[in-house]
Structure 1
């Protein structure tokens, strides 16, 4: 996306005093168009690029020589495809990018330009899908993006606090109501992130957890079946990250999973009674695979 470009320097965002370098937020402007979108019904805005820059949620401005302008926003956009065009076509695309420099007026060469968007928790890269086409894909809204390596997929997750005593069925129904599933976890980082969001609630005691996917089908401690359709393996249980007891103090089998505080340990995955859990589950982690 960085051939045929002009860089419009607008304002610096963050000054790093230690090395006199700045993270400069810029709008990168190219001759191009957003595929599958027609500007004929778009509003007129002669300052389309500046309007996008001034809106903290805007990631891209698409406009033409007649100043028909369409803005695209981070929290409401999941995928965009941009195709480079020629000057004679009269279409322009401007999108936000960051540049590290000590000279706020500096115009970089192509190799120095980052095609990443840094507005959310996860930097999102524009991916080149052909010689002239670029694609932007992210999770819905502010859902967290996890890049898994085995297999190589991207999983989107979000935690929802649904109230003390949430049952497993209620958790599944909640995710299903959004067209999503109760998510499994494949790395140590994923339950850590779920645990961190659970920490929004003050003074939450031990074993008050967040439902996740997974059900034990054998007597082995780490032997769970994932039903979300995209989780594989037991990497999330590494580094002593699971508090697995097989049964509770009443002798009831604990074959399902939640993320919670455990007694005096760093473990974040706890096996619980399927259906009712500990009776104190607070919510659910929903997820889906980003296609």
Structure 2
């Protein structure tokens, strides 16, 4: 198969360096996508949508858009032959003003409004995205959901609601609770990086307080 760059949408230089790279390929695994009524402008419509990270135009003419706002889930894309008529469009950053000669050696990385990035991992003729922003840790929970976590340090004292409203939500995220020993250990490791002297300090997570009793099977509040 001869690598070929099919389509490149350019944002004017004053608006940034985000581009849309479209190749012959298909989605082999991923969350339920959003359906677009237009198949002819599938990639360009994704380009204009802030939340869209990938477009897929099927041989049957359907157009699907994949959102970075969906709960974390792996998306897998595989390259196909031109004769299949299936096209995928990656929203990605490209350094410089010139169009790349080929997509085969490119790193597909998308930057969102707050500066965080999503990076695709290339293996052979396929690409995968685990659904988490770069630098965030993914945990697959027993209830079937996956979450992305990252620890942030405050320069001073901060109330829980301020941490949520002024820190998390402007980034399009929220505070989260702990659902496993694995998550708890990872959080502790992150805390120790910020607090190597092991001085006392607070760490906010999401959750709720319950009555001080052990009357229920799954909860017992104790003093630490």
The verdict on a shared fold, with TM-score over 0.5 as the criterion, is: yes
**2:130 paired residue among 133, 137, 162:** 137
For 1:109, which of 97, 101, 105 is the aligned residue? Answer: 101
Q: Is structure 2 residue 74 aligned with structure 1 residue 73? A: no
The structure-2 alpha-carbon separation of the partners of 1:82 and 1:192, relative to structure 1 and needing over 3 Å to count, comes to: same
Contact preservation (8 Å) 2:36, 2:63: yes
Q: Please list, as runs of the form range in 1=range in 2, the aligned pairs for 1:178-197 lying within 5 A after superposition.
A: 190-192=151-153
Q: Report how far residue 122 of structure 1 moved.
A: 3.5
Structure 2: segments with no counterpart, 5+ residues: 167-174, 205-219
Q: CA RMSD in A?
A: 4.5
Aligned-pair CA distance for 1:235 = 5.8
Quickly say closer, same or farther: Cα 1:64–1:5, change in 2 above 3 A: same
1:85 aligns with 2:80: yes
Q: Where does residue 259 of structure 1 map in the other structure?
A: 203
Unaligned stretches of 5+ in structure 1? 16-22, 148-153, 157-174, 184-188, 203-209, 214-225, 245-256, 261-273, 279-291
Q: Are residues 135 and 36 of structure 1, via their aligned partners in 2, closer, same or farther at CA, if it must alter by over 3 Å?
A: closer
- TM-score between both structures, scaled by the size of structure 2: 0.61
State the match for 2:28 in structure 1: 35
Rounded Cα–Cα distance in structure 2 between residues aligned with 1:43 and 1:211: 35
Among candidates 225, 229, 232, match of residue 182 of structure 2: 229
Change (3 A) 1:275 1:191: farther
Q: How many pairs were matched up?
A: 186
- Are the structure 2 counterparts of residues 235 and 11 from structure 1 closer, same or farther at C-alpha, using a change threshold of 3 Å? closer
Is the contact between residue 107 and residue 120 of structure 2 (CA under 8 Å) also seen in structure 1? Answer: no
SS at match of 2:46: helix
Question: What's the counterpart of residue 117 of structure 2?
Answer: 123
Indicate how the Cα distance of structure 1 residues 241 and 56 shifts in structure 2: closer, same or farther if over 3 A, else same: farther
Q: What's the TM-score once normalised by structure 1's chain length? A: 0.49
Q: What's 1:6 paired with?
A: 6
Displacement of 1:236: 2.6
Q: Give the 3 Å change call, closer, same or farther, for CA 259–145 of structure 1 in structure 2.
A: farther
Q: Which residue in 2 is equivalent to 1:243? A: 199
Q: Conserved in 2, the CA contact under 8 Å of 1:48 and 1:67? A: no
| Deviation for aligned residue 1:4 | 2.9
